Chains A and B, each alone.
Chain A
Amino acid sequence: MTTVTNKNETGGDVRLSGISKTYDNGFTAVHPLDLTVPQGSFFALLGASGCGKTTTLRMIAGLEEPSSGTVHLGDQDVTALPPYKRPVNTVFQSYALFPHLDIFENVAFGLRRRGIKSVKKQVEEMLDLVQLGEQARKKPHQLSGGQQQRVAVARALINHPKVLLLDEPLGALDLKLRRQMQLELKRIQTEVGITFVHVTHDQEEAMTMADTVAVMNAGRVEQLGSPTDLYENPRTTFVANFLGTSNFIEAEVDSKSGDDIVLKAGGGKLVLPEARCSAPTSTGGKVLVGVRPEKISLTHADEAGEIPEGRNRITGKIADSSFIGVSTQYVVDSPVCPEFEVYAQNIDRDPRLVPGADVVLHWNPAHTFGLDATQDIDAGTEEEAAV
């Protein structure tokens, strides 16, 4: 990770303390929230629509007044400052480019408002950075979606804000262009070293771009961490389901051996490293055992004896399989979990692994994580989000 620390501007972090937003109609979009975005980092606020991520962003920008709490940029308390006095710029969701001004004037807008007279050189450099030097005299509606998006970034970045806020900036682009712009934005961020706070509902986008991701749900931050950390060690079922896919088995704590916890599930036993369990582990207590689909190996029941010792294993019957090129996705019906998902790389395909076959699922216990069993298993899945 590149962390740009400018000696002249010590502590340019964004600090939100106890910030919350309740609208006049009584709806609480953001519950009291503490969040620190380190200077120079690429920070993503990730969540489904209506989770409060955009409201949080707008409170940093000053476009929304917090009901409580404070916003600090470095040492400066900006909570009471109107947007035009904050050293912060925003890339809006649908870009909000000024339709009556050409690209050059759109980009120069912020500079001119701060009374800078000779803007030509700066604007041209910025347009070159986003590869739009040729389009300077066109109007926004003459550009494609991807080009408009880059103008929006240039218009904000030219002001050298302490923080650049991006509100779903890639939402209106098609998939291929989105992937391209993700890399582009990451490149620009590394180049200019400005703190980026990026709001998105696309977990893949958050994971590829951000150094730190905060997963938000119903106005609260569920978990905060690096993308790998969030993926490997989710602490709630919401995070486990929202970032990728997870399989859950309800299990009961049986005993402890060394750093591991032994659990009873169905008829068998499962091992879970204690460090990876975020639930209380008293003997007899319930724990949700989670494992990611790509960590699991599938072996036909006839060859169960060949599975090495010390791996977690459960039995089941293949209910469905779909070939998607790089991998094959299986849905396995198991006594401990009705829809167990397994992604198998297409290296040596066992022709017997077809729907109806009896199989043993096994994985390295190190890939197991444990969650509090009192939560909703389906939190954060797509089916739930659709309701």
Chain B
Amino acid sequence: MATLTEAPPPLTPTAPEKKPPRKRGRLVPYWLLLPGILYLLVFFALPMIYQASTSVQTGSLEEGYKVTWHFATYWDALSEYYPQFLRSVLYAGSATILCLILGYPLAYLIAFRAGRWRNLIMILVIAPFFTSFLIRTLAWKTILADGGPVVGALNTLHVLDVTSWLGMTEGDRVLATPLAVVCGLTYNFLPFMVLPLYTSLERIDPRLHEAAGDLYAKPVTTFRKVTFPLSMPGVVSGTLLTFIPAAGDYVNADLLGSTDTRMVGNVIQTQFLRILDYPTAAALSFILMAAILVMVTVYIRRSGTEDLV
């Protein structure tokens, strides 16, 4: 065998050249943030400040409005329009619960049982977004029209007797009742419930179901102890995404309801665009925002989802 005594490569101490930290590179993230920050500043922060100042102004259309720090507007607005506030919370809350009841089984089906139909059902869930919100709501006007097939069927099944006993409908009508408004809200915000639910259900490792079954949990117990707790992030974000816009909505109450079903959104709209009482409208907007913030904070604290991975 040939003995190859090759000289070892010279051991030169090659100290890694230290590159000076590039200053330009460190600023890049901030430059990338700039467009977003500017956008928010112009279209969110400035209008908010403007609204806040409007809400404490006094005056009239003819004389012009001036900032007089008139906080009493808030109290006046609240004491005059609290029924509409309560109604907003009630309708949006009912719609959110209905969305959860309808949306959870649907999201569960898509996530675990749909197999190759999964994408098709997802498209069906999102499809209504391809038409305008207004047109969809107007369509419900036709669906729930007096003497129409839906109302007829509900009447025959004596469902309307129950709902009118609950104060949600009146006589043979569905349109222009609280039920119609809640139905419209439920329909319009259902996808906002289904999508986050689906996302969090789909993330659950199916082996956890097997493991629960292996550890003597019946299917119902598996759902109660494993699936549902693990889908809590989806339940929380779904209910928030449904409740928050529903509470501020006025289109459904406007098109499907009557003067007795006016929500706070309708009041704000009227104050701004018809009565032109800008301070009251701005104050109402801030009250609504504050109320929602408080409710959401309490809700997130109580549901304890920050602990979930």
Interfacial residues, chain A to chain B (CB-CB below 8 A)? 61-63, 82-85, 88-90, 92-94, 96-100, 109-110, 113-114, 139, 141, 155-156, 159, 354-356
Contact = CB atoms under 8 A, between A and B. Distances in A.
Nearest to B222: A84
B218 interface: yes
Contacts of B208: 96, 98-99
A354 B1 contact: yes
A114 B226 contact: no
Contacts of A63: 210, 213-214
Given A84-B218, A113-B221, A141-B309, A96 B213 contact: no
Interface in B26-73: none
A94 B207 contact: yes
User: Chain A's interface: helix, strand, loop or mixed, by majority?
Assistant: loop
A90 B1 contact: no
A100 B217 CA distance: 16
Interface in B191-209: 205, 207-208
A354 B1 CA distance: 8
Interface of B: 1, 205, 207-208, 210-218, 221, 225-226, 229-230, 308-309
A83 B226 contact: no
B216 A92 contact: no
B213 A84 contact: yes
B30 to A, nearest CB: 33
A156 B210 CA distance: 13
Nearest to B1: A354
Contacts of A96: 205, 207-208, 210-211
B205 A83 contact: no
A139 to B, nearest CB: 8
Contacts of B308: 99-100
A159 B216 contact: yes
Nearest to A89: B214
A242 B308 CA distance: 44
A88 B213 CA distance: 11
A92 B211 contact: yes
Closest 3 CB pairs of A and B: A110-B215, A96-B211, A113-B216
Contacts, number: 68
B213 to A, nearest CB: 4
A100 B229 CA distance: 7
A81 to B, nearest CB: 11
Contacts of A155: 215
B226 A98 contact: yes
23 contacts: A82-B213, A84-B217, A84-B218, A89-B215, A90-B211, A90-B214, A92-B210, A92-B211, A96-B208, A96-B211, A98-B212, A98-B226, A99-B308, A99-B309, A100-B308, A110-B215, A110-B216, A113-B215, A139-B309, A141-B309, A159-B215, A354-B1, A356-B1
A139 B215 CA distance: 19
A82 B220 CA distance: 13
B211 A99 contact: no
Contacts of B217: 84, 109, 113
A225 to B, nearest CB: 29
Contacts of A82: 213
Residue of A61, A100, A354 most packed against chain B (CB within 10 A): A100
B31 to A, nearest CB: 36
B212 to A, nearest CB: 7
A84 B213 CA distance: 5
Given A99-B309, A100-B230, A141-B309, A114 B216 contact: yes
Contacts of B218: 84
A83 B214 contact: yes
A155 B213 CA distance: 13
A83 B207 CA distance: 13
Contact of B214 (A84, A93, A94, A100): A84
Nearest to A109: B215
Given A113-B217, A113-B221, A83 B210 contact: yes
B274 to A, nearest CB: 51
B1 A61 contact: no
A111 B218 CA distance: 13
A60 to B, nearest CB: 11
A92 B221 contact: no
Nearest to B230: A100
A78 B145 CA distance: 58
A141 B226 CA distance: 16
A101 B225 CA distance: 10
